[in-house]
Structure 1
Amino acid sequence: MPKVILKGFIIVPEQDLDAVKAELINHKRLTLAEPGCLVFEVVQCTTNPYRFDVYEEFVNRESFAFHQIRVKASAWGKVSANVERHYSQ
């Protein structure tokens, strides 16, 4: 099966920025520890503090689906609920 690559960016509402930045450390750690995660990068933009560039690679659809399910039930899922997501696969 081909690997899954997701790239794009998120826009974080001003009122959620501190919580998102604080939880992002844990979110990255947990995601990189998932079976099938090859690359997981979320980087705050230097010119727009509310934009974070995202790049993810997973070995297959199953590992990506597991990631999506885990995220929805996580602390990251809660703090990023209002985030505007712009991704392509």
Structure 2
Amino acid sequence: MTDGTGHACGDVQLTGQLICTSEQYARIVRRRLPEHVRLTLAEPGCISFTVAPTDDPFVWSVEEHFRDAKAFRAHQDRARASAWGRATADISRSYRITGLDGA
């Protein structure tokens, strides 16, 4: 069943950007991203997870898709507490999240 936008009812999607302000932060992302992606894709409820470089070497495009709000929130908690979360805590994010309304 879909919600009229083509998304499955109950699923959560995040789209946006990870925005570095220096080469130092960009290096942190490049070094730590492969492990973060690997761990995220292994999480229960992760449907897809893509973080890709853009034409700007300091900006990455982010797309996340989780089965439901519980899986998405578990991912957020795990990521925040991880080596990735600690290393990238000061890097700006600009995200739009759909599917959390009323969840």
TM bucket (normalised to shorter chain) is over 0.9
Residue 63 of structure 2 corresponds to: 55
Query: What fraction of aligned residue pairs are identical, expressed as a percent?
Result: 40
> Does residue 31 in structure 1 map to residue 40 in structure 2?
yes
How many pairs does the alignment contain? Answer: 88
Residue 43 of structure 1 corresponds to: 52
Residue 11 of structure 1 corresponds to: 19
Identify the structure with bigger relative contact order (alpha carbons < 8 Å, sequence gap 6+): 1
User: RMSD in angstroms over aligned alpha carbons?
Assistant: 1.0
Letter in 1 for 2:92: E
Which consecutive residues of structure 1, in runs of 5 or more, have no partner in the other structure? none
Query: TM-score, normalized by length of structure 1?
Result: 0.94
Which consecutive residues of structure 2, in runs of 5 or more, have no partner in the other structure? 1-8, 98-103
Query: TM-score, normalized by length of structure 2?
Result: 0.82
Instruction: Tell which structure's C-alpha radius of gyration is larger.
Output: 2
- Higher helix residue share: 1
